[in-house]
Amino acid sequence: MSVTTDILTVDRLRAYYQMNYFGIEREVRAVEDVTMRVKANEVYGIAGESSSGKTSLIKVLAAAIRPPLRVLEGSVTYRFNGNPLDITRAAEEEIEAVRWRHLSYIMQGSMSVLNPVRRIGRIFEDFAFRPMGLKRDAFRAAVEAHLARLHLEPGVMNSYPHELSGGMRQRVTIALATVCRPEFIIADEPTTALDVVVQKDVLAMIREVQQALGSSVVFVTHDMAVHASIADRLAIVYAGRIVEEAPTRTIFTAARHPYTRHLVASLPRIGDTSPKPSLEGRPPSLAEPPPGCRFHPRCPIAIERCRKEVPILEEWPGEHRVACFRAHEAIPAGEILHLKRGSLQ
Amino acid sequence: MTRPPLLDLRDVTKTFSMGGMLSRRHVGAVNGVSFALSAEKPEIFTIIGESGSGKTTLARMILGNEVPTSGEVLFEGENIAERRGAARLAFMARVQPIFQNPFEAFNPLKRVDRYLASTARRFLGARSRAETETPMDEALRKVGLSLKEVSGRFPHELSGGQLQRVAVARALISKPRVIVADEPVSMVDASLRMAIVNLFRRLRDELGVTIIYITHDLATAYYISDRLIIMQKGYVVEMGPARPILDAPRHPYSQLLKRSVLSFDESGAGQIKPSGRDEVDLTAESLIAGRLEPAEDGRFVRLSKPILEPRQTAGAL
Amino acid sequence: MFSVFRDLIRYNMEFAVGVVLVGAIVLFSLLSFISPVDPTAIYTTIPDMPPSAEYWFGTNSRGQDLFWHLTFAFRNTLFFGLSVALLSRVISIAVGLAAGYLGGWTDRVLMFVNDIFVALPTFPILVLFYFVLRSDLDMFKLALIMACFGWPYDARLIRSVALGLKHREFTRHAVFAGMSPVKIMFEEHLPYVMPIVFATAMANMIWSIGLEVTLAVLGFTNINIPTVGTALYWANNHSAMVVGVWWWIVIPVVLIVLTFLGLFLLAVSMNEYIDPRSRLRRMGA
């Protein structure tokens, strides 16, 4: 891969929450040593449980770094039109200049983006009129053309958000996020609150727009099934670190990290009646992460070294990276999925 | 003489009236639902539906929190709605709920064991400390915990999985016949989800508890259910043995749901297609006109009749 | 609890200042227990002496040593404010929790009564009580009457919190764990409204003391009981400002302003500290 096709390069990013409550200092190590790159025209999935730090990571990617979240180290460099822009160091005006025009978001609750007292048409003006820099008539025509591409009637422009169904609103937010034809879109659990049927339609739409525009999408969700259907490459985040990253197919068929293997093996599927294991324990507190590999307290194959040293993300053939000391060993599935205290856990 | 069914829903309907004084209209949340759970054979009975399908209203009626507008819910042959006072308490001991979010099911400012102790005192009549703690510990052991691990702890000191297991243990103290679990895994992490689902399976097999599992997730439903009903807009569209139905659904809406389940077979291919919702008749008319008819493998499917049919057949089973 | 107090003093300026102010006033009022003089006796010293080393706060035109007299006045006033706050908190908690949790008819009836109390004009009714009871109106009766007017706004506030709690899953869980409505209201829900209770208690004290002072200055209370209000009443009666006995008015006014300021700062800082969001965050949720 040549460097020029990477639209986003994250290098050794470390971002913590630093808080002070009545004198009690607290540090939450939400993003720890994250290095990743997103190529042009791909969907990059980020999977992780609650409090895995994935939300903090995309806050940084979206240039929404507000105290108490602080970037301590590393860089987040976008390359729009060939100009590098490190948002951890850029001035506010530089970030404003790319926001929505080049870098946009689709968020979980569509209602948080859609101002309830404005018609959809006005909301489009609020967000996209200035970045697009068109005359009013041309702007209106461009928005309508874009809505048509997403199978939305031009009539929705005159509706208020509450007049639309949940699925329709989510489609409008997708239209809103993509109307400026941004190169980079961050999607934060955009389908989590939706019903299964609507979810599939929304996912199909995101994929369709992404391919039509040739944009890159960073797609964040804890739902592995969603990643299986939409992501080209997938990063598994555990306790603030990327533990494995690979093309989606590899994650689902040839994962090396015990956490990933567990996640994939425990997915229930229609037509499959074999018993599914579950993982004992809880994700560690990011305020006091365990030493060494952060997964070791729950890992069925942890060795002494895992308790002391932090495994680095190692390159494997086929764009595959794994952070595990035992990734090279051929460990049978039975051992990885072995249950510590009987079937009950 | 045969025992009455454990739980028997007979043509249960619930309508809510909405709107102001002038534009008052009645919305059917649950329409003519009938099914029975056997007292002899414990099972996991799943209610599948999307938001607005009436599955939560149905659960509330089974728990006696909501009174049906028409029809009746019988528990061991007696109408739930008529139970008051001591009879209501006795019923609550036999039918217990598990809630959606383990972190929300416990008061964050209170110790978790107080829920267990209260259950033991009220439903078992325990007085002394030993009388209260013995059933608490027994119930906790059934879910792989012990009183020592839990007593005196606050919710934030336990993991989501532990909390959900404490919630299940709490429900088990009064030796219930039925546990109603409303979306018990939709708010929990993937690594935890199977722990809870596996636990349900064990409660059925080892303790003989019947579980009413309410969900929108077809994959876990397939994994644990014996029988299921699929609900759409308050109507049952398909009902019967779980795996045959999910393997080959017959009703157009069930088929749509199955099609919408995200598949792992082509993971990473990025070939996701729309659900094809527009081609399925999702209107209420077809549901009202439809009628649950017996079909193959012991299932029932709501089949649309011509709209000309008289409406009173709606919901009959 | 103690560590919370220590942290607040150390890191919250408002709280520290509030504690110092209120603490000083409370200490001052406690001195009344070792007072060498009877606060109701008059002409026990030379009248109209300005503040000096012998008479710290001076003496008034009725021949009373103001320092000792005001210790009694502040004791009575603080006791009065505390009683009103306590009594009205009890009513507002009971009404607010019951209306919010039980809902339905209970809620409608309680909120109807609540709205009547909101609508009633407090001041004329207190004056009416004065005319009816006259010298039978002691501090405790006055506190009881004022408490009956001091609860409705806070009851509504508590009700709104209870309404939210009613629909939380843990409340439904408690019902199925066999807890009675009383137990749910006073054990499950009460801890959530305690922050409101504390914060509004301060505001309520400010309100009730202010109203007592107003009534007393106008002579609508038992003027023989030494309070801040009656002290000002007598000062006004003797035209203290006109004859140049300024200390008779200025000193009690400054002290009562400091009291209010202290209570206000306590209310504000506790409000901030007890905000359930920050509390839950501290608890690691």
Whether residues B191 and A268 touch (CB distance < 8 A) is answered with: no
What residues contact residue B19 under an 8 Å CB cut-off, 6+ apart?
B25
Q: What is the gyration radius of the CA atoms in chain B, in angstroms?
A: 21
CA neighbor of A150 nearest in space, from A228, A77, A192, A207: A207
Residues of B in contact with A207 (CB under 8 A): 270, 272
Alpha helix (H) residue ranges in B31-84: 55-62
Laid out side by side, the sheet with B95-98 consists of B95-98, B178-182, B210-215, B44-48, B227-232, B235-241, B300-303, B291-294
B1 in a domain, yes or no?
A: no
Report residue C43 as tokens.
Answer: 């002409």
**What pLDDT does residue A115 have?**
85
Q: Which helix (H) or strand (E) holds B162?
A: helix B160-172
A30-88 pLDDT tens trace: 999 999 999 999 999 999 887 788 888 999 999 988 888 899 999 999 999 888 999 99
**What pLDDT does residue A216 have?**
95
Contact B70, B11 (CB under 8 A): yes
Residue range of the domain that includes B125: 7-313
B269, B270, B276, B277 alpha-carbon torsion, rounded to 10°: 130
Q: CB distance from A342 to chain B under 8 Å?
A: yes
B283 in a domain, yes or no?
A: yes
Among chain B residues, the shortest Cα distance to C279 is held by B109
Q: CB distance from B252 to chain C under 8 Å?
A: no
A135-163 pLDDT tens trace: 999 999 999 999 988 888 888 899 898 88
How long is chain C?
285
| Side-chain half-sphere exposure of A195, counting CA atoms within 13 A | 19
Report residue B302 as tokens.
Answer: 């709501």
Among chain A, residues having any CB pair with chain C shorter than 8 Å are 21-24, 285, 287
Residues of B in contact with A262 (CB under 8 A): 191
Residue C72: φ, ψ to 5°: -65, -45
Whether residues B171 and C187 touch (CB distance < 8 A) is answered with: no
Calculate the average pLDDT of chain C.
Answer: 88
B183-218 pLDDT tens trace: 888 777 777 788 889 999 999 999 999 999 999 999
Looking at CATH, the fold of the domain delimited by C32-46+53-164+194-270 is given as MetI-like fold (1.10.3720)
Q: What is the gyration radius of the CA atoms in chain C, in angstroms?
A: 22
Report residue B247 as tokens.
Answer: 């393997």
What residues contact residue B251 under an 8 Å CB cut-off, 6+ apart?
B230, B237, B238, B301, B302
Residues of A in contact with B222 (CB under 8 A): 268-273
Q: CB distance from A175 to chain B under 8 Å?
A: no
CATH number of the domain where residue B173 is located: 3.40.50.300
Whether residues C174 and B121 touch (CB distance < 8 A) is answered with: no
Report residue B85 as tokens.
Answer: 């006072």
Report residue C72 as tokens.
Answer: 């009694």
Q: Report the alpha-carbon distance of residue A221 to residue A267 in Å, rounded.
A: 15
Q: What angle do CA B207, B212, B218 make, to 5 degrees?
A: 115
Helix A196-213 / helix A166-178 crossing angle, nearest 10 deg? 10
Alpha helix (H) residue ranges in chain C: 2-11, 13-30, 66-102, 104-119, 122-133, 139-147, 152-166, 169-176, 181-183, 190-217, 228-237, 247-274, 276-282
Contact C55, C64 (CB under 8 A): no
A187-243 pLDDT tens trace: 988 887 788 888 898 899 899 999 999 999 999 998 899 999 999 999 999 999 999
Domain boundaries in chain C? Answer: 32-46+53-164+194-270
Q: Which helix (H) or strand (E) holds A229?
A: helix A224-230
Ranges of chain B with pLDDT below 70:
1, 19-24, 305-317
Q: Report the alpha-carbon distance of residue A11 to residue A35 in Å, rounded.
A: 5
Among chain B residues, the shortest Cα distance to C284 is held by B156
Instruction: Judge whether residue A249 has pLDDT over 90.
Output: yes
The β-bridge relationship of strands A184-188 and A216-221 is: parallel
Q: Which of A257-261, A306-310, B262-266, C125-129 has the lowest mean pLDDT?
A: B262-266
> How far, in Å, are B99, B147, B163, C230, C248 from residue B113 at the CA level?
17, 8, 11, 54, 60
Report residue A277 as tokens.
Answer: 């294991």
Whether residues B262 and A50 touch (CB distance < 8 A) is answered with: no
B114-130 pLDDT tens trace: 999 999 999 998 889 99
B47 in a domain, yes or no?
A: yes
Contact C97, C155 (CB under 8 A): no
**What pLDDT does residue A256 have?**
93
B2 in a domain, yes or no?
A: no
Report the DSSP beta bridge partners of residue B229: B47, B239
Q: CB distance from C246 to chain B under 8 Å?
A: no
Q: CB distance from B167 to chain C under 8 Å?
A: yes
Whether residues A22 and C284 touch (CB distance < 8 A) is answered with: no
Report the DSSP beta bridge partners of residue A145: none
Q: Report the alpha-carbon distance of residue A186 to residue A190 in Å, rounded.
A: 10
Residues of A in contact with B256 (CB under 8 A): 197
Q: CB distance from B111 to chain C under 8 Å?
A: no
Residues of C in contact with A22 (CB under 8 A): 7-8, 10-12, 273
**What pLDDT does residue A150 have?**
83
Number of H helices, E strands in chain A: 12, 12
Domain count, chain B: 1
Instruction: Judge whether residue C154 has pLDDT over 50.
Output: yes
